[in-house]
Structure formats: C-alpha cells, structure tokens
Structure 1
Amino acid sequence: MKFNTSVAKNNEIRNYEGARAYKLDPATELYTAVVTWSLNDSFYEKNDQRLARIRSLVEQAEPMFVAKLAVYARHFMYMRSVPLVLLTELARIHRGDDLVAKTTAKVIARADEITELLACYQLLNERKGAKKLNGLSKQLQKGLASAFNNFDAYQFGKYNSDNSDVKLRDALFLVHPKAKNAEQQVVFNKIATNQLDTPYTWETELSALGQVIFANETERTAAFRAKWEELIDSGRLGYMALLRNLRNLLEVNISPVHIGKVCEILSSQKEVAKAKQFPFRYLSAYRELLKMKMPERKVSNKLMQLFGSEPDNRGRLVHALEMAILQSAEAISGFGKDTSVLLACDVSGSMQMPVSAKSSIMLYDVGLVLAMLLQNRCAHVEVGMFGDTWKRIRVSRNNILANVQAFYNRQGEVGYATNGYLVIKDLLQRKVVMDKVMLFTDGQLWNNAGTENIRTLWVRYKRELAPNARLYLFDLQGYKQAPLQIMMNDVYLIAGWSDKIFGVLDALENGAAGLDSINHISI
C-alpha cells in the first residue's frame, strides 16, 4: 500500500467550513489522523470522535499497514500513546499469525509502556472489575513478554508506580515473561515481590528534597541549587527534563559553570538526535525563558567574543536552544541552490488550539516552527501567513525560534479566516515563479469573501506561470479531507508535527510514492 497514490474519483465533499474539499482514501486518512493526534479535542473534532474514526479506519486498512504505522508513529514521529491505540485495535481485529506479537515488541520502547498498553487495552475493550484483563490477546501477551526482556532494573524501577491502575507486577503475572539470564530473573523476582529498588532519578531526588522543612527561603533555594547542580553533574538529568526545567534552573541561580554544561548538552547534535523531541518543544522552552527577567552579571571575555555581547545565563540558554533546533534543520535536503520556495502559514482561528491539554503551544505554532526550519535551509525563499488576508513577512535566516516568535506576535495582522487561496492569487498577480509552494495548515481552507478558490487558482498558476511547480500541503490536524485532489496537478499531502516529515518531503522530491518510509518498515 502506498500513500499519495490517489484519492477516489467523485469524492467531493464539504469541509468543516462548508467549502468544497476531497475525501481521502482510508489509508491516507488513517495516517493523517494518527500522526496529528494528541488524544485531545481539536477545533472541529472531539477526542472521542477522533478515536471512533481511527478505530473504523483500522478495520478498513490492511493489518500489515496498521502494524507498520504503529512502529512509524512510535519511532519516527516520536509518539507514545497513539501507537498503543493502534496495537490494541490491531489485536482486536487480527488473528492467525504473529503480526500483533512482533509489532508489540517493536513498538514498546519504555518500561512504562508495558503497563500503559494494558491500561489502553482494558479501556478500549471496556474491561472492568476483577476480570479487567482476562481474555488478553495471546499475541499481545506474547509481544509484551518479549518487551520485558528489553529493560533492566533501573528502567523498571524508574517507571514502577503504586499509583497506576495497572502495575508492573500485574503485567508480569499476566504475560509470564521468560528471563533471558539469571540477572534478569532476579529483577523479575523483585517486581513480583514489590521489592524493586527506587533508582536515583531527578524526580525522586527532587521529590525527597521537597519534603524537607527549611528555615527560610534562602536556605531552601540553596538546597535546590545544590541538588540541581548535583543532578547535572550526575548525567541523570535527561534531555527532556532539561528542556522542561530551564526556568527552574535559573530561578535557583545555578552556577555559570553548570549553565555551560546545560548549554553543551542542549546544543549537542548527538544529544538532539538521541532525545527525539518534537521541534515545538524547543519553542515551549524558549517562551518560558522569555517570560523571565534576569539580572545582569559579569562573564568572561571569551563568552563576550562568542556571543557578541555580554549575555546573562538566560541569554546563554536561549542561544543553546537556537543551536539545538538548528540541529533539527541540518538533515533537511531536497533544495538546490536555485530552488525557489514559498512557505505559507495558516494562522486562522481553527489553528489556535493547544496541541495538548497541558500545553501552551498552539497548532499554528507547530506550523510556524516547521516553516522556519525549512526557511533556514532554503536559499531563495519567501515566507508569510494567511487568515482573512495574506501577508509576506521578511525574517532573518538563522534565528528559528526568534522568527517563530516574531510571527506569533503578528498573527492578528491577517485576521482569522482560512483564505489560503490568496497565497496563489498573490503569485499570479505578481507573476512570481516558485518551484515549491508549501502550506502549513489544518486543511480547512475556504473563501469568506467570494467564489475564488485555491483549486482553480493553482491550475491557472501552473498553466500560465509555473508548469513544474509543486504544491505541498502540510496537514497539521488530520481531518478526513483535503482542499485539493492529492497527486493531481502536482499536489502532495504530508502530515505530522515531527521534523521527520521532511524525510517524506525528500522522498517525494526523489520520485517516491508518498510515505514509502512506512511501507519499508520491517515487522
């Protein structure tokens, strides 16, 4: 099965704004729905509606495709919960071979995902009471047993919790994993008897310190400063933990030396690749730092030469975040020195939804980040945003996060409709030839002021000015339709929030049939 091969003929429907659109084939719809789902309500679709739609689409898809999509979502799109839903649904509908077992073993990447999968299984299958995990799929059970062999005592201890509905001990007794050696059998025995050691982690260390009663706030701050510095020195403070706690590190005023260590980790190409963070996570950390006002402090001449000014600790961390997200752009390819690109960001009302319940990052922020990553790699590029109107905006090339913030601060200037057709109309009026036009959007395009539409304007643009131009729709919300016919008139669909979507873009540029990267996954 291949993506972007076609959409069915005579499949015209209406999108959520009432405009003409095209229904995606079930496989493409499943892909877009999965890689843009954060298990939260979206602007046009409640979370339970998205779940029901995905379950229906799984039933229509080939089981092997569902399996590969689960692996792709976990290991290439950095998703954790959604792949577990796919595994649960695959176990419900598929029998007769070991596909479910092999896929489960491949998807589970953290020890806590063993219990998360079982909790997902009992929830989606409406299992309650004492028999909530009875009748577990044998192949799911076999896959979980294999997954147990992938973790050590530290990993099990880190994610062992007495507060969860399904505990590691429950999972062990349910799936009966076979230890691969005597050392692992000791670990399994400790799980069975609730004797796992609590490992040294930043969470446990800070939690213990939080129980201490201090004489005053100065003493408390000093204790937390020492603990944060100890955690940094220990190497046990992971990349995601650093991103989430930069503000905390500054508030307790950790030393400039430790700030330097944090900056080195954040900006390391190796650490960035290993951490597998969504690009917008850097934006979230960046904005937390911008909320703070830091006192001036003296630094060495060497740092002044490096930064071009005398930075405070916050400035050093901001610079490290910019360097970190630049690493995400390094692998982007497919743009020659003469390639011209237009990047258009949808900042309409329907894009102003948080990506998750606890996040301050909006959907249009995701589009802005991805667009700025591309902008950094393109020699001949125009960027802008559209709502009621379309506005081209000049931004610098290197400061990706600062550019996103500049866009964010100006999004109200174009209004909140979804008049994406204006992007193409502007090219026609200016008689500008672009090799690639890229729209970062939720796909709910319409015209709130007349009858012109993006479909007819795009056909006209290719006929009159740029016969070889390509239009890429970066779908950031995964609804069930597209504003243009995919794979007709050089229109392509890409979906997701990870920088890995640029690998799909590169594949399309080199003649691949859409997301062949999924089809090439081995199970």
Structure 2
Amino acid sequence: MARLFLGIRGNRQIVRVAGMNKEQHLMANKKIFASAAAVQNHAGGKAFGKSDEQALVQYVMTGTFNDTFYVTGESQLTEVLARASQVPDEFLAKLAIYGREKGMMKDMPALLCALLVARGSGHSEAVFKRVIDNARMLRNFVQMLRSGVVGRKSLGSRAKRLVKGFIASLNDYALWEASVGNAPSLVDVMKLAHPKAKDERRNALYAYVMGKPVDAALLPDFIREYEAFLAGKSKAAPLRAPFQKLTALPLGTEDWMRIATNARWTMTRINLNTFARHGVLRNPQMISMIAERLADREQIIQARAFPYQLMTAMLNIGDEVPGEIRAALEKAMQVALENVPAFDDDSLVLAIDVSGSMGNPVTGRQTAATSKVTCLDAAALIGAALRAKNPSAKILAFEYGCREVVVPHDCKVMTIAQKIKAYHGGGTNCGSVIQYLLDHGIKTNNLILVSDNESWADGYRSDLSTLWAKYKRDCAPEARMINLDITPNPYSVNAKRADTLMVGGFSDDVFAVMKAFLAGNTDQVDAVKAVEI
C-alpha cells in the first residue's frame, strides 16, 4: 500500500495511506533509538545506538540529504525529524548554529532553522540571523518550509518577515549576485515574500532582479555596464558581475585576465579550471599573481577556507593548471591546518578506515555535480594532517585486516593522504585495529579512529567494543579513543564510555573537539550546548 510522508506532529509522523492521514508513533522501533544496548548497523554488524542528541549532532555535521553507501537521503530526513521531536528547541537552536558556524554545513542547519520557525520557537529569529547567512542558505530555508516536511507549506508571517529582512540587508551588488541560483531562485523567494523598499532606486533593483520592466537610469552603474555589454553597446567587459553571469558572455582572454585579476580568493580557488580554459594561465604574470593570492595567509583566513575545500580544489583541477598554482594550494592547505592539534604523546596511533564503502562521495551521491571527494579522501586527509603535526604518530590502515602505513618523517600532507588511500578496498572490521595493537604489543595513550562506523566483518567476539575493553584491561588502562565518524548514521562502533569520544564531521572543527576531549572529557554534544544563542 502506497504511503506518503507528510510531516511531524509531536512524537508522531503523519503519513497518507489510501487517501487518509494516519498517525504513527515515531519511536515504535526502540531498537533503532537505543543509547546503550547493542544493535545492528546498516551493514548488519554489531553497533551501539546513539542518544537523540548524539545522533542529531552526527547527522547535522555530516548529512546532506544525498544517498550514501548505506543510507538514503529520505531516511536521513525521517531520522532527523524523528530525533528532533524528542529534544528541546534550545538544543536544536544551538545545533543549527553549531552546524553552520563550526561545521560549515548547509542543508541540515537550514532544516533545523525551518523547523524552529514552523514550531513558532522563540529561538527562531536568533537562529535565522546566524544560520541563514547567504543567498544559498536563504533558498535552502525557503525550500525546506515550502516542501511541507516541517509541517507546513506556506512561509507564514514570521518567515516572510525574516526573509524580507534578509533581502533588505543585502547591498545592491550582493542582491544582484544572490539572483544566481535555482530551486528555488531568488525570484521565487521574492514572489513569496513581496519585499518593498521606501527608496525608488531599490525598488527598481527589485523589479530588475525579478525580470520586470524598469527605468535603466535608476539601476546601479555595474548593472548598466553589464547590460550595455550584453546589448553590444560597450566593448569593455564588465568587471563587477556575478561570475556565473560572466561565463555566459562572449569574452576574450584579455577580458578573462582582467576578471581573474579582480577575483576574490574563493572565486579564484573555485574557478582555476575556467581560467585555464580561457587562456589566463598561459600568461606567466597571471600564474604568479594567482599563486601568490592563493597562498596569502591573510586572504585564506578571511575566506574561512578549510582543508576539505582545498582538497576538493586539488582533486578537481585539470592538467592545464600549472605546478606553481598546485604548490600554492599546498601552502594554503598548511595554513588551513594550523588548528590541527599537536599531542604531547609519542605513542599516538591514527587508524584510518580504507574499506570499500569509504569510496562513496563524502557528501553523498547526487543526480548532478556529485563531489569527487570521497569519504576515504576526507578520512585520509584528517589522518595525514594529524600525522604531519605529530611526526611520531603511527598510521594504521584497516579494512578486513589492519596494517601499518610507513611514511617519511617530513612527508607532506597530501603525500601522506595518497599513501593511506593506496590500501583502499575490502570489508569494514574496526576491531582489526585493536587486534593489531594486541598482536604487536603496541601500547598507546591515545587512539584516533576515522571510519564510517559500518563495521560488519568482525563477528561479535572480535568487535571493537569487546576488544577495546580487553585492551584497556590487559595492555593500556589509561588509553583513550577518539572515534571520528564522517557519515550520517545513528550508530557508534563502541559503547558510550568516559574514555571514548564519539565525534562527527569532516570540517576542521573536529580537531577542536578532539583537543577539548583530551583536556577534560568533554564531547561534541557538550560543545553544542556551550553555544550561546
């Protein structure tokens, strides 16, 4: 019988069955939502259910509503809505802010913001101001509300007021720049919110963005220059125009060099292939200028660049991008990794999951524009960054079994990552890490394990949780484990213990959480609760 998910009411989900709305208890399957008992993970292996707060943090810091190796986007949505119905608005508010500001995530924070607005929460306006910080996030927010998944399909008076306020806060150029993008477009959003200004020129800009007839004399200079070039009335290519609009114009190499010269750091990083395709990178002066910009520490920090973004750039650039620019991205990576902690521990062990499921795109599979960066890429980068800051650390790669990855003392981050990735393949056996430590008599004070946590190739007698208890008892009573999970799921490979940190995400904030844990047994839920609204 066909069922259609309609939304959440309290702790029930509303479904349409044979044309009628019925309510079902979301918590019917207690096995899924257990916080201590052993359960089965998506791969069929032994796992431990997370609490509602722990699971929500994991989903927000890793989820994108795209299909992963084991989990569909739809199931992520259902799980998040179910868990969100069990926690206070204050926690959701703090988590939305944490996910956006610390995790730099988009979809999940926008969903939580929309959910709070739909609930009429007193925290919704404060969350909106911090989470909906650009046009892409605004479109996400409106899409979430209009989809009906949070219990409504209209914006409502509060959401309209928030959207109007956001649009009014944009300067003229930022508003024009925000008009790029679809599903929904800014035009769709403006049709829903009906923003109006007291200023005649601003209203003219609103009309222009929405494609309505307008007196050109009232428009900003940069739009008139763009329209003049578009109409063939000017030969000078506009320098101030959204990049996506420039790519559609009949521009020559000289035009592109002028655009590249005036580009911001992020725009430069994202469009290296575009510059190469248009001949910009055949000019030695342009190569040096772009390389200098990309390696500029102040600009890197101002752009809030983090390692995952730089790895994406490195994996995506084509052969036409010269070595000088590739080297500049390497330098930028070093700056972005400055907050990776150096542990006062010569026995540190870094265990990286290289199993087959780690080959899935880290942001999930999409119908278009699926990321080239895999879970393994992200895990290897985290391991390599930690190894670069902790040269005495031992690197282990595991799948069915476990082996050591030997790298030179002064090896660069991306080179270390490539060496880890060379072992890709096999089934997931997280317990093999502890078994390796036991078999080789390796004592560590701190073990950092990076995985998708879908361990299944171990068996109940050799699972990580059982072996960790044995290792603590027989080998290293003071040892601590940091279990970093980079995929959206409600399970952990280990039971919750004081000596074990469960942390989720693939932004550089995970390093701060690790450092805090080793300083005082705090965890990621505590980090969320520490957010000030």
Task: Name the TM tier (shorter chain).
Answer: 0.7 to 0.9
Give the match for residue 446 of structure 1: 456
Give, in whole Å, the separation in 2 of the partners of 1:232 and 1:407. Answer: 35
Give, in whole Å, the separation in 1 of the partners of 2:398 and 2:243. Answer: 43
Residue 348 of structure 2 aligns with an amino acid whose one-letter code is: V
**What's the secondary structure of 2:85's corresponding residue?**
helix
Q: CA deviation at 1:332?
A: 2.1
Is residue 2:90 matched to residue 1:90?
Answer: no
Residue 105 of structure 1 aligns with an amino acid whose one-letter code is: K
Judge conservation of contact 1:105–1:144 (CA < 8 Å) in 2: no
Question: RCO greater where, 1 or 2, for CA within 8 Å and sep 6 or more?
Answer: 1
Distance 1:28-1:155 versus aligned 2 partners, 3 A rule: same
Residue 469 of structure 1 aligns with an amino acid whose one-letter code is: A
2:473 equivalent among 463, 471, 478: 463
1:202 equivalent among 220, 225, 243: 243
Give, in whole Å, the separation in 1 of the partners of 2:385 and 2:196. Answer: 46
Q: CA deviation at 1:456?
A: 2.2
Give the match for residue 334 of structure 2: 326
Judge conservation of contact 1:112–1:156 (CA < 8 Å) in 2: no
1:19 equivalent among 38, 41, 45: 45
Give the match for residue 213 of structure 1: none
Judge conservation of contact 1:340–1:380 (CA < 8 Å) in 2: yes
Give, in whole Å, the separation in 2 of the partners of 1:494 and 1:448. Answer: 22
Give the match for residue 220 of structure 1: none
Give the match for residue 383 of structure 2: 371
Judge conservation of contact 1:78–1:278 (CA < 8 Å) in 2: no
Give, in whole Å, the separation in 2 of the partners of 1:398 and 1:263. Answer: 22
Give, in whole Å, the separation in 2 of the partners of 1:287 and 1:445. Answer: 28
Give the match for residue 522 of structure 2: 513
Is residue 2:170 matched to residue 1:151?
Answer: yes
1:259 equivalent among 273, 287, 292: 287
Which ranges in structure 2 are unaligned for 5 or more consecutive residues?
1-32, 227-239
Give the match for residue 275 of structure 1: 303
Judge conservation of contact 1:334–1:506 (CA < 8 Å) in 2: no
**What's the secondary structure of 1:411's corresponding residue?**
coil
Judge conservation of contact 1:100–1:140 (CA < 8 Å) in 2: no
Which structure dedicates a bigger proportion of its chain to helix?
1
Q: CA deviation at 1:190?
A: 5.6
Give, in whole Å, the separation in 1 of the partners of 2:442 and 2:349. Answer: 10
Give the match for residue 495 of structure 2: 485
Distance 1:459-1:449 versus aligned 2 partners, 3 A rule: closer
1:285 equivalent among 292, 297, 313: 313
**What's the secondary structure of 2:501's corresponding residue?**
strand
Which ranges in structure 1 are unaligned for 5 or more consecutive residues?
1-6, 211-222, 295-312
Q: CA deviation at 1:126?
A: 9.3
Deviations 1:124-175 (A, max 9, x none): 3499xxxx96x423332333233234311111101214x7454445544644
Matches within 5 A, 1:75-474: 75-92=101-118, 94-95=119-120, 97-125=121-149, 135-161=154-180, 164=182, 166-172=184-190, 174-175=192-193, 194=212, 197=223, 199-209=240-250, 223-224=252-253, 226-234=254-262, 237-251=263-277, 252=279, 253-289=281-317, 292=319, 314-333=322-341, 335-336=343-344, 338-355=345-362, 356=364, 357=366, 358-396=370-408, 397-408=410-421, 410-412=422-424, 415-448=425-458, 451-474=461-484
Q: CA deviation at 1:64?
A: 1.2
- Count residues with an aligned counterpart: 469
Please identify, of 81-90 and 47-56, the stretch whose mean Cα deviation from structure 2 is larger: 81-90
Is residue 2:64 matched to residue 1:57?
Answer: no
Give, in whole Å, the separation in 2 of the partners of 1:327 and 1:180. Answer: 45
Give, in whole Å, the separation in 2 of the partners of 1:8 and 1:140. Answer: 35
Judge conservation of contact 1:329–1:376 (CA < 8 Å) in 2: no
Q: CA deviation at 1:191?
A: 5.2
Q: CA deviation at 1:192?
A: 6.8
**What's the secondary structure of 2:170's corresponding residue?**
coil
Deviations 1:315-339 (A, max 9, x none): 2122111111111221123512x44
Judge conservation of contact 2:482–2:500 (CA < 8 Å) in 1: yes
Deviations 1:401-441 (A, max 9, x none): 22222322x224xx411112121112122222212111110
TM-score (norm 2): 0.80
List 4+ stretches of structure 1 deviating above 3 A. Answer: 7-10, 124-127, 163-199, 238-241, 247-251, 446-451
Distance 1:180-1:433 versus aligned 2 partners, 3 A rule: farther
Judge conservation of contact 1:385–1:391 (CA < 8 Å) in 2: yes
Give, in whole Å, the separation in 1 of the partners of 2:522 and 2:393. Answer: 26
Please identify, of 395-404 and 418-427, the stretch whose mean Cα deviation from structure 2 is larger: 395-404
Deviations 1:452-500 (A, max 9, x none): 2212221222222222211111011121111111234x11111001011
Give, in whole Å, the separation in 2 of the partners of 1:453 and 1:169. Answer: 53
Give, in whole Å, the separation in 1 of the partners of 2:209 and 2:158. Answer: 23
Distance 1:114-1:469 versus aligned 2 partners, 3 A rule: same
Is residue 2:49 matched to residue 1:42?
Answer: no
Give, in whole Å, the separation in 2 of the partners of 1:448 and 1:166. Answer: 46
Give, in whole Å, the separation in 2 of the partners of 1:139 and 1:100. Answer: 9
Is residue 2:512 matched to residue 1:503?
Answer: yes
Judge conservation of contact 2:131–2:137 (CA < 8 Å) in 1: no
Give, in whole Å, the separation in 2 of the partners of 1:417 and 1:167. Answer: 43
Q: CA deviation at 1:181?
A: 8.3
Distance 1:164-1:419 versus aligned 2 partners, 3 A rule: closer
Please give the root-mean-square deviation of Cα atoms over the aligned residues, in Å.
2.8
Give, in whole Å, the separation in 2 of the partners of 1:513 and 1:476. Answer: 19
Deviations 1:496-521 (A, max 9, x none): 01011111111112215313332232
**What's the secondary structure of 2:115's corresponding residue?**
helix
Give, in whole Å, the separation in 2 of the partners of 1:401 and 1:325. Answer: 9
Judge conservation of contact 2:395–2:406 (CA < 8 Å) in 1: yes
Give, in whole Å, the separation in 2 of the partners of 1:227 and 1:401. Answer: 34
Judge conservation of contact 1:152–1:184 (CA < 8 Å) in 2: no
Residue 209 of structure 1 aligns with an amino acid whose one-letter code is: P
Give, in whole Å, the separation in 1 of the partners of 2:95 and 2:473. Answer: 37
Give, in whole Å, the separation in 2 of the partners of 1:429 and 1:70. Answer: 43
Q: CA deviation at 1:263?
A: 1.4
